[in-house]
């Protein structure tokens, strides 16, 4: 490793002078500057960021950690995009951690990770009591996106209400037997969205005095194909239904194609409402509950940035609005 001393020796000056050239602080004669620059070039020297931060008492890493599950899913990609929009305009850079299994979670919520960053944004993962304690102990600002915990700032939507709105709309327009396609209600990683939406869905039914046949509930993954299969399964069970509410657009689109394939007319025979409002939804005319995905990311990132600036260390809890978007499928 080549240090500032080597450069100083090579250029025949003191290390202070080299440092001055490096930071072009105060005056250094042109002649000396050239000699130093030459030496730097000859040796291929590059100053140690570590030592520099130490000397400057700038003990910050200028890194923000983003913890996001399955970052290949539309929703997460959009959130990430929002976060990135904001962070990339600041001096911070992004450390990305993908969580797909429980072990990943442990790896991420560790001292090492927290020591390496100034703050953290956690997307969609539900906090366990123990985790929350640990994270609080780390003493770094943390913002939750699409998740809620009293002791951290957060941005989220009211998933229950969103599902309620959609279901209620279906009921209002005369649907009586509504199927429900969701992700896992009890997710091992702790996503709460499906669960909350299930609650909202049931509440709307209950309120209208409608029974729910559990055979009309499919729990499956978030992909076109899984949605398609869910649609097929529903049809195969030959329990009549006149609407489907899905916890994601991607599932809804899959379901829709299964139904269309079977010659059903949408929305005449069966209405469909999704959740998210991904770009395909608009294009396909899918009715859906729009959640501001990239905006959640943006807002979350902004809150974290504020926290890092030391403004206002109290917790912000921000609920962003959901909007029922009725298009052609309901």
Partner DNA sequence: CAGTCATGAGTAAACGTTTACAAAAAATTC
Partner DNA sequence: GAATTTTTTGTAAACGTTTACTCATGACTG
In the list 12, 14, 38, 72, the residue contacting its own copies (rule: CB under 8 A) is 72
By beta-carbon proximity to its own copies, the closer residue of 94 and 326 is: 94
Interface residue with its own copies among 97, 191, 222, 241 (CB under 8 A) is 97
CA distances from 304 to 154, 177, 301, 310 (A): 10, 44, 5, 10
Helix (H, G, I), strand (E, B) or coil at 89: coil
Eight-state DSSP code of residue 312? -
Contact between 53 and its own copies per CB under 8 A: yes
Alpha-carbon gap, residue 273 to 294, rounded angstroms: 21
β strands within the chain, DSSP E: 63-69, 93-99, 119-123, 142-145, 153-156, 178-182, 217-219, 243-246, 271-276, 287-290, 317-319, 323-325
Q: Smallest distance from the beta carbon of 137 to DNA, in angstroms? A: 16
CB atoms within 10 A of CB 261: 12
Nearer to its own copies, 111 or 206 (CB): 111
Which string of DSSP letters, residue by residue, matches 48-76? -HHHHHHHTT-----EEEEEEE-TTSHHH
Binding track, positions 268-297, relative to its own copies; x by CB under 8 A: -----------xx-xx--------------
Residue 228 contact partner, candidates DNA, its own copies, none, CB within 5 to 8 A by sort of partner: its own copies
Which residues are near its own copies by CB under 8 A?
1, 44, 46-51, 53-54, 59, 61, 63, 66, 71-72, 77-78, 80-81, 84, 88, 93-98, 104, 107, 113, 115-116, 138-139, 223-225, 228, 279-280, 282-283
Which residues are near DNA by CB under 7 A?
1, 3-5, 12-20, 22-23, 25-29, 31-33, 45, 47-48, 51-52, 54-57, 59
């Amino acid at each position: 490793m080549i240090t500032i001393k080597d450069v100083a020796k090579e250029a025949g000056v003191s290390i202070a002078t080299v440092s001055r050239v490096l930071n072009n602080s105060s005056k250094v004669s042109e002649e000396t500057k050239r000699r130093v620059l030459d030496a730097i070039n000859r040796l291929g020297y590059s100053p140690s960021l570590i030592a520099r931060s130490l000397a400057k008492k700038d003990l910050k890493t200028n890194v923000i950690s983003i913890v996001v599950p399955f970052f290949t899913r539309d929703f997460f990609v959009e959130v990430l995009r929002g976060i990135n929009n904001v962070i990339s305009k600041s001096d911070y850079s992004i450390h990305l951690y993908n969580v797909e299994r429980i072990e990943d979670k442990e790896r991420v919520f560790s001292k090492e990770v927290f020591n390496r960053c100034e703050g953290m944004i956690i997307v969609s993962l539900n906090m366990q009591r123990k985790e929350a304690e640990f994270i609080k102990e780390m003493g770094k600002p943390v913002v939750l996106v699409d998740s809620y915990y009293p002791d951290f700032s957060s941005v989220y939507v009211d998933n229950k209400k969103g599902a309620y709105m959609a279901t209620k709309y279906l009921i209002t327009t005369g649907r009586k037997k509504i199927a429900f396609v969701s992700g896992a209600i009890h997710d091992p990683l702790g996503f709460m969205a499906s669960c909350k939406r299930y609650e909202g869905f049931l509440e709307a039914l209950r309120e209208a005095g409608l029974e729910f046949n559990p055979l009309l509930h499919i729990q499956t993954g978030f992909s076109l194909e899984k949605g398609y299969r869910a649609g097929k399964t529903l049809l195969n069970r030959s329990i009549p239904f006149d609407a489907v509410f899905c916890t994601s657009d991607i599932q809804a689109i899959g379901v829709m194609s299964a139904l269309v394939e079977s010659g059903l007319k949408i929305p005449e025979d069966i209405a469909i409402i999704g959740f998210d409002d991904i770009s395909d939804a608009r294009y396909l005319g899918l009715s859906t509950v729009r959640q501001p995905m990239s905006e959640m990311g943006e807002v979350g990132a902004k809150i974290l940035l504020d926290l890092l600036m030391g403004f206002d260390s109290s917790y912000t809890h921000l609920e962003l609005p959901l909007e029922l978007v009725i298009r052609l499928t309901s």
